[in-house]
């Protein structure tokens, strides 16, 4: 019984991921709005790991003995479920520890205030800005960023980072990053992760463009990317980096989105939560176990 449940969830997960990869072709993406892309990417990214996690919880809850109408329980699937849950919890603890260490490191940077905006100053010539942390977030700006941009463009960059704070991106991407670690072996995990990162930046750009000149923000983006290098440690630990390096086509996509006022920002539709609720269905079979 448990083995058939695991096989069914794996089959659904693979179908969801490969179905998304077909929809994510360049031609199909052009015909989709940003909210549609965000919904599909989130569902394809979240549903498979959540289904696997809830199935493992359900199997552990039912135990290795007993059965249901269509089969009996077994020790192999029970042990596999425990191993997956222990692995997932280990990844969560590891990610939380890394994030906490990063926060402690950031708190050692000197605090600065620029036109009412408080940030931590990172002493590096690389142009870099990031919103770092999970529950307690800190804005980090490098010395190179301050030297590179004039007042108007620096204001645009910091407003972009305020957009990440408004949407609580570091908090949500902490949990998305956990899902990425737990199920990196599933197909197209990295493709979906990069899509979500891009949509996250486009959404923060859209929020900022309502408060600063979109053209200035686009110019700032180009200027920063041309004079920066990716900070792997910070970006991997939930730093929302304005200066994160993108392939040329994705950088152009951000600029096109900024300069096209008719495009809606990639907000998360309410339907996404309905799909998340579907992942709890494996728990519904547990009461029928005997």
Q: What is the 3-state secondary structure (H, E, C) of 192-258?
A: HHHHHHHHHHHHHHHHHHCCCCHHHHHHHHHHHHHCCCCCHHHHHCCCCCCCCCCCHHHHHHHHHHH
Q: What is the pLDDT at residue 90?
A: 96
Q: How confident is the model at residue 232 (pLDDT cuts 50, 70, 90)?
A: very low
Q: How confident is the model at residue 242 (pLDDT cuts 50, 70, 90)?
A: very low
> For 150-168, what is the mean pLDDT?
93
Q: What is the pLDDT at residue 189?
A: 93
Quick check: 97 pLDDT over 90?
yes
> For 84-105, what is the mean pLDDT?
93
> For 182-196, what is the mean pLDDT?
92
Number of domains in the chain: 1
Q: What is the pLDDT at residue 71?
A: 55
Q: What is the pLDDT at residue 63?
A: 75
Q: What is the pLDDT at residue 239?
A: 43
Q: What is the pLDDT at residue 233?
A: 46
Which residue range(s) make up the domain with 49? 2-288
Bridge partners (DSSP) of residue 71 are 68
> For 268-290, what is the mean pLDDT?
71
Q: How confident is the model at residue 181 (pLDDT cuts 50, 70, 90)?
A: very high
Phi, psi (rounded to 5 degrees) for 138: -130, 135
Q: What is the pLDDT at residue 216?
A: 94
Query: How many Å apart are CA 120 and CA 24, to the nearest integer?
Result: 38
Q: Nearest 5°: CA angle at 55, between 53 and 58? A: 110
Q: What is the pLDDT at residue 269?
A: 64
Q: What is the pLDDT at residue 1?
A: 57
Q: How confident is the model at residue 173 (pLDDT cuts 50, 70, 90)?
A: very high
């Amino acid at each position: 019984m448990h083995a058939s449940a695991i096989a069914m969830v794996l089959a659904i997960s693979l179908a969801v991921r490969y179905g998304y990869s077909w929809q994510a072709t360049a031609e199909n993406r052009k015909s989709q709005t940003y909210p549609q892309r965000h919904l599909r990417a989130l569902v394809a990214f979240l549903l498979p790991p959540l289904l696997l996690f809830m199935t493992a919880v359900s199997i552990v809850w039912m135990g290795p003995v007993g059965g249901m109408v269509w089969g009996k329980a077994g020790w192999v699937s029970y042990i596999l479920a425990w191993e997956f849950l222990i692995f997932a919890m280990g990844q969560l603890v590891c990610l939380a520890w890394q994030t906490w260490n990063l926060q402690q490191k950031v708190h050692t940077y000197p605090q600065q205030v620029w036109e009412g905006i408080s940030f931590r100053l990172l002493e590096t010539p690389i142009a870099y800005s990031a919103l770092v942390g999970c529950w307690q977030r800190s804005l980090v700006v490098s010395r190179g960023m301050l030297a590179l941009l004039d007042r108007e463009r620096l204001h645009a960059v910091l407003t972009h980072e305020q957009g990440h704070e408004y949407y609580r991106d570091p908090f949500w991407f902490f949990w998305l990053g956990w899902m990425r670690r737990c199920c990196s072996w599933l197909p197209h995990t990295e493709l979906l992760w990069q899509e979500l990162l891009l949509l996250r930046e486009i959404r923060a750009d859209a929020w900022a463009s309502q408060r600063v000149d979109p053209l200035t923000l686009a110019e700032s983006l180009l200027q920063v990317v041309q004079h920066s290098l990716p900070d792997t440690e910070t970006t991997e630990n939930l730093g929302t980096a304005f200066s994160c390096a993108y392939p040329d086509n994705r950088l152009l996509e951000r600029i096109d989105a900024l300069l096209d006022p008719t495009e809606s920002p990639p907000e998360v539709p309410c339907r996404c939560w309905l799909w998340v609720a579907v992942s709890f269905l494996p728990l519904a079979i547990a009461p029928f176990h005997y």
